[in-house]
A = this chain, B = another copy of it.
């Protein structure tokens, strides 16, 4: 009996899934071009790095598993945000937590609503659990809360995804608009509010942390302004009953000790965070000026990147991006029209932005 030739019996769902990669990594592009990038301005990381204290702390006790309850970090976050520790769950970045959330809510065929051109990793998870994704268009380069709510009511959605501030456009809604969205949330719908960029947003864009609503969950990260993308620490804030449900499925030992210790030390160094946010604001202004110097239109940004309208269609923006990449400048761009008339440039060091200033006019000329 030749039994060894039969492949594994995957689930029906898995058999239908494509082998998607939500994002191609810059390292893949570096291998393809046979050279490293000179400026890494595409992944909305913080080139300004983390607090030095974060790395010193993270390097200790590498031989030990992390506390599966993440008690020290969750306690510090609870104190920082003035919420109960039971309102916080840690995860392997917001990506990991979004995966858990989708698994908790979405069975085969369940409806989920997002914006066309919003975070693709969320869409990847929805597809990965067999959900049906309904997309509404951006409106004026921003996600459209009213349209998201209307679509959710129409399709009886289990969940809506929205980011505030938004990625990839850098736009934002003020707290009152987000509060109205929550008030209008259909009874059977969860609002997943991705606040990865909240630390660089203007105060009026930050919804107060009222965790009384049983179906609103907010996501934060140490990968952006805190400069710790390399550790992958995200967390979610929600009503304790909602947070408790994560314990039924999460990978309790998934977040390493170094990640927890590094994030805790970074959280405790708010001076460094504030200094980084100031550097990000300065870099945003410089990117905007470089864009304007080249006849392009920088969009307002509440994030650690600036999305730049290249003034034509998606094909032109893709050509500009390709030329920048060929010149060693890693940048990304929106996937969907009409947002794909833009390129997205993460904040960089002065030297990074000098390289951008040198390369952009050449890239534009070549693209034209």
Contacts and interface: CB of A to CB of B under 8 A. Distances in A.
A55 interface: yes
Copies of this chain per assembly = 2
Interface in A7-55: 7-14, 17-25, 27-28, 31, 40, 43, 45-50, 54-55
Contacts of A365: none
Contacts of A362: none
Given A93-B254, A185-B3, A46 B17 contact: no
Interface in A79-102: 92-93, 95-96, 99
A10 B105 contact: yes
A5 B239 CA distance: 11
A83 to B, nearest CB: 18
Contacts of A1: 187
A46 B24 CA distance: 35
A22 B252 contact: yes
A266 B151 CA distance: 51
A8 B251 contact: no
Given A245-B14, A251-B92, A251-B96, A64 B230 contact: yes
**Size category, A interface:** 35 or more
Given A6-B214, A24-B68, A65-B232, 8 more contacts: A14-B104, A19-B248, A20-B247, A61-B230, A95-B254, A96-B251, A230-B257, A232-B254
What 8 A-B pairs come out closest when comparing CB atoms? A230-B257, A27-B67, A232-B256, A17-B248, A62-B230, A3-B187, A11-B107, A19-B247
Interface of A: 1, 3-14, 17-25, 27-28, 31, 40, 43, 45-50, 54-55, 58-59, 61-69, 71, 92-93, 95-96, 99, 103-107, 110, 121, 128, 158, 185-188, 190, 212-215, 223, 227-232, 241-242, 244-245, 247-249, 251-259, 262
